[in-house]
Amino acid sequence: MQEEIRENTQQTSPSAERGNLEDLELAVEAGRILLENGAEISRVEETMERIARHFGIADAQFFVLSNGIFATGMQEGCQRTYAKVLHIPVCGARLDKVAAVNQFSREIEAGAYTAADARQALQRIRQLPGRPRGQQILAAGIGSACFCYLFGGRGAECLASLAAGLLLYAFLCLTARRISKIMSNLCGAALAAFFCVACYACGFGETLGRMVVGAVIPLIPGVSFTNGIRDIADGDYLSGTIRLLDALLVYVCIAIGVGLAFWLGQRIFGGVL
């Protein structure tokens, strides 16, 4: 993370200086939590403006990209100006945190928090625990089986997709932050697809395509793709393009991984495929 805080000061008291700076940081921190957890650009800007307006930061300006926030503001009644820059890497989605910050900003606007209470509440939101790994893996497997069924899969094919989804997400959890996102998606798609190929070669299931489609569903970046389209529709062309490119890169990795699995399966199992 790269941060820069600039301050141009005339004559005023140190306590007022500190309070205004922390209020600006509060608005930016709320925007950071939203952005790093998959919120759309318009929601991030609206939330930051709402918090800054409530705490009396005059002429607050926020420029938000898909991986960065630029914020400036001025204390009412004087010529003090603050600026802050944050770099936020593109990462996954935690919609529970997005909903919590959204509600938090509305409660601030209604006067439910002082500045100190608001900082504590925001810290609690940042520290919200995620689901246990076991639940995430189980949910991924069930989701794979359900999507296989939606695409016409039968009992044996849904079971194969369920097992492949479990295997895929366990692999993603084990390799998180150890290998790059590109390699994680590519290897994960190849692993899930090859497991389906092996099941099909052993006579388990009738349609290989349905099993594979269900198996790779946990890799699909639905939130990023949808938010990218929405950002472009809202006029945030740069941020929308970045998110769409990120999603398309994942799709390409999935396609390459599945292709490698089919090629390897053809080499190993021959004419069965």
Res 225 pLDDT > 90? no
CB burial of 15-35 (b: ≥16 within 10 Å; e: otherwise) equals: eebebbbebbbbbbbbbbbbb
| Nearest CA among 93, 113, 125, 112 for reference residue 29 | 125
What is the average pLDDT value for the chain, to the nearest integer?
82
| Of 14-23, 68-77, 230-239, 252-261, highest mean pLDDT | 252-261
Q: Supply angle C-alpha 94, 28, 248, rounded to 5.
A: 45
Q: What is the pLDDT of residue 49?
A: 86
Q: What is the pLDDT of residue 127?
A: 87
Q: How many CA atoms lie within 13 A of 270 on its CB side?
A: 1
Phi, psi of 162 (to 5 degrees): -60, -50
Q: What is the pLDDT of residue 235?
A: 82
Res 149 pLDDT > 50? yes
What confidence tens digit (pLDDT) does each residue in 168-185 have? 999 998 887 788 888 999
Q: Sign of dihedral through CA atoms 56, 61, 65, 70?
A: negative
Name the pTM for this structure.
0.76
Percent of the chain with pLDDT over 70: 87
How far is the C-alpha of 219 from the C-alpha of 130, rounded, in Å?
18
